[in-house]
Amino acid sequence: MKKSYAAFICFILITALPISALAHPGNTDANGGHYCWTDCERWGLKYGEYHYNNGDKSNGNTTTVKTGWQSIGGKWYYYSSGKVHKGWLADGNAWYYLDNNGVMQTGWKFIGGQWYYLDATGVMKTGWLYDQGWYYLNKSGEMAKGWVKDGGSWYYLSSSGLMKTGWLKDGGTWYYLTSNGSMKTGWVMDGGHWYYLDKSGAMKTGWLWNNAWYYLDFGGQMKTGWLQLGEDHYYLNQNGTMAQDTVVDGLIIGSDGKANKINSNLFNSIKSVANNYGFTVDYDKEIDTFVISNNDGIIALAYSGYIGGYSQYIDFIATAATKMGAPEPVNNILNFFDKVSNPENPRYYQHNNFGINYDRESSWVNMLWNN
């Protein structure tokens, strides 16, 4: 009877021992805990689970430590060695941000003076992001502002981070950004007007050489039609190119593009004859005179009611003179210089309102008449 009573007392004592006395054995780390790798099911643990063997005699409970991501009350937390993580977290190939309470953040967040965007899973975004407009987040996740080069093209992000399109003034210079935000160079049509952007994207004004001369006004618009700069007049064709060596509205346009207020009919008359001889005709604004030349140099000068040049070109001079309005027929003029028909070949010939002067020393022939 005494043996049975003693056995019963031993059973009661054993069952009354604290749970910690039966807790999973093993060495603990500096934090007082360790990982379970042996007979974990026996102790109600998972293999690899970190836990403490609580030696508190008041309750004797075995405490399991949370690790990694944990969803609590619909919010995500990250635990490391039982402690909730706060601030930036690198997990795998992604970055996350957890606030001062350890809650994983999503959406736009202003952190350390910079804006970041964390998607619905908490992952920090980089590169282009559309959120009611386009934004660019650099490699560190910071929202970009100002100029950004991506894929060989330049883009501009406003102070709010939004990608700009259309005209942009930056540092006193105008730029044009296409509908996809890329900076434009070269010719661009906008609002019915042509503009030109150089290699840096800057809008050009004034004279522009682009396989021809163009003029862009102070607003950058390509000019067409008549243009006055100081005392000079220019004509820009409908495609914007500057007119040269032609006649527009009765005004002669020189090779420099400047219009000369002279008789275009006179110019066309001389030029039609000069072309037959392969001569060139230019206008000297300073002396208000046409200059006819060939490869040897100047061969004749002409203006209204006058033409003069070397006698060896008398056939050209005579033909041009009649084209310019000289009343004498070409043959009469040529006969005057012909030693057969006019052996005396006098120095001066006058017939009504037409005269010819021949200077034998300079071999220069002058023809004058009244218009």
pLDDT tens-digit profile, the chain (371 residues): 444 554 444 444 444 444 333 445 566 766 667 666 566 555 556 555 666 665 333 344 555 677 899 999 999 999 988 899 999 999 999 999 999 999 999 999 999 999 999 999 999 999 999 999 999 999 999 999 999 999 999 999 999 999 999 999 999 999 999 999 999 999 999 999 999 999 999 999 999 999 999 999 999 999 999 999 998 999 999 999 999 988 887 678 888 999 876 667 788 888 899 999 999 988 777 787 889 999 888 899 998 889 999 988 999 999 999 998 888 899 988 888 887 677 776 677 777 778 888 887 888 999 998 86
Q: Assess contact for 135 and 157: CB atoms under 8 A.
A: yes
Residues facing 130 on adjacent strands = 134
For position 21, what pLDDT does the model report?
36
CA 221/CA 233 separation, integer angstroms = 18
CA 217/CA 230 separation, integer angstroms = 14
What H or E segment, with its residue span, contains residue 277? helix 264-277
End-to-end CA distance of the chain: 163
Q: Report CA dihedral (10, 15, 18, 21) to the nearest 10 degrees.
A: 70
CB atoms within 10 A of CB 223: 17
Longest dimension (CA), the chain: 181
Q: Which two tokens stand for residue 24?
A: 């999973």
For position 330, what pLDDT does the model report?
92
Residues facing 109 on adjacent strands = 116
CA 84/CA 67 separation, integer angstroms = 9
CA 56/CA 62 separation, integer angstroms = 10
Contact partners, residue 34, CB within 8 Å, separation at least 6: 26, 27, 28, 50, 51, 53
Contact partners, residue 207, CB within 8 Å, separation at least 6: 213, 214, 215
The residue type at 166:
G
Contact partners, residue 32, CB within 8 Å, separation at least 6: 52, 53
Q: Assess contact for 213 and 224: CB atoms under 8 A.
A: no
Tokens 């043996």 belong to which residue? 3
Tell me the CA distances in angstroms from 360 to 134, 337, 363, one per residue in order.
85, 12, 5
CA 101/CA 28 separation, integer angstroms = 29
CB atoms within 10 A of CB 278: 8
For position 10, what pLDDT does the model report?
43
For position 9, what pLDDT does the model report?
44
CA 309/CA 138 separation, integer angstroms = 76
| Residue in 243, 242, 240, 238 with CA at minimum distance from that of residue 220 | 240
For position 348, what pLDDT does the model report?
79
The residue type at 48:
G
For position 304, what pLDDT does the model report?
84
CA 315/CA 194 separation, integer angstroms = 50
Contact partners, residue 225, CB within 8 Å, separation at least 6: 235, 236
